[in-house]
Chains A and B, each alone.
Chain A
Amino acid sequence: MTPLSSTQNPNSTASLPIIYNTLTCEKEKMPESFSHNTHSFNTISVSNHFTVADDRSNILAWLSPLDPKPRHQDIQDRRVENIGEWLLQTDEFRSWSASGGEGESGDAVLFCYGGPGVGKTYIR
């Protein structure tokens, strides 16, 4: 029975942060003789990693419930390669995307307008 056996308990309902705290406490309390137990240390570092990743995704989810990524991927999948490439060659696009460097002014906003269905969403 190692001090870390709680992670192997299938009935454990403890959430990851709690497990993490438990593990770090156990580690601190751990007698010297346990320090060679590499398995325990692996478990600790994995939990630590999850906790950081968890915090990050919690913060991102807190910022907004919306996620535009699926819509972007859907458009990416449906778009035909090179459609609307002409736009990238226009003077308007070029000066808009190149401006804004140090000391430069130029229009900050490029508004592309058109009626329904002309393909505004799919321009490359």
Chain B
Amino acid sequence: MTPTWVRLAELAASVLFILALKGLSSPKTARRGNLLGATGATVATVVAFFYGEKFYGGPIQHLPLIIIATAIGSVIGWIAAKRVQMTQMPQMVALFNGVGGGAAAVVSTIEFLSAGDPAQTRAALAATVFTVMVGSVSFTGSILTFMKLQELMTSRPVVIPAGRYITSLMGLLTVGSAVVLVTWLDSAGNASSTFLFILLGLSLVMGLLLVLPVGGADVPIVISLLNAFTGLSVAASGYVLGNVLLIVAGTLVGASGTLLTRMMAQAMGRPLTNTLFGAFKAKAATSAGPTEERPIKSASPEDVAIMLAYARKVIIVPGYGLAVAQAQNTIRELVELLQAKGIVVDYAIHPVAGRMPGHMNVLLAEANVPYEQLKEMDEINPEFAETDVALVVGANDVVNPAARNDPSAPIYGMPILNVDQAHQVVFLKRSMRPGFAGIENEVLFDPRTSLLFGDAKDSLTKVVSAVKSL
């Protein structure tokens, strides 16, 4: 039996995790909430070092190795988290999530392999199988998500031929082997470890198959979903080990993660199933049209400066391109210049601007943009019609009217910022390349639209000096 002080410490850690999630739900308490969570995790880990003794009827073995491994992992995690650029943070979260899922799968595999517990109940067996399956899916799925966001591979949906059938077949095989594993015991009453490894392999492939057809702007929702998956697999591993803390922590993450995933999908204006399987339904969207020949209007930095300086109301629409170019400070400088001229300037923040919901708020906060100037989509959309200039910096999909007008577009149904209603639109873009979702944007060809090509930071710097010299 676990000693009472250990169980009390675990109770304390559980409470800290609940307070952490609660704190993270409000801007004022978010940072403290995160620290509470870290405290809970530290308590739980330190207790675990001492804890095996009575629990498993023998002192915890390999303690030096365990402490070294913990230290190695902590240092790697710390350095990775400190070094990562804020723009690359979504894929970092995906990666952290993946290794967590992998760890849960490994933990249950070891528990399964250790011949010490022949009397595994069916329920524990089922929990083992669940952890291995879901943890592995989360592991490979997250790694693939990381690769998509890091642009180690295409971020477009990848639909392999007959993908729908292959995925369904693999899904059936995976579930089938899971069922066999739980129900079919050999004469000694042990489950087949061969099937466990088959299940492991199938689940790893399943993770890839699930994420491959998800594209572009939908990737963040998948990260959130996989995060919930990992939570549930951690909870199941807690059941396998009879550890209450793991059950509580894993379930909290699983439940809140599921809810969060739904909220994110709602912000994108489409049901979750559409996010996951939409690519199978979409026609091979050909953006091949005679795009190069269509007329566009390009502008010089001076033209843009004049448009801005003689406007009464300007709305800035920042996107991922702004962040990539590290132009957050430059845009703030431009906005301050314009405000000094008495021009009303606001930032319009699309819920999924950047690569994740709330990502753009983080990036602009980093550049000390006052919180009050950031307007959410529902608040600012009615204002575009009376706006002189909408300045779109490195955003594309979130202002693409195809989401409103073109039912065949992959982003159809996503709420967008109505820049096409502004009197004039200025796009700062690197090239005519379509956005993350890979769809042509009609606004670019509108006669009221001007394009300023180049790196967002260079372009903005030029516009700033042009405004100054007016």
Whether A associates with B in a native complex is: no
A residues in contact (CB < 8 Å) with B: none
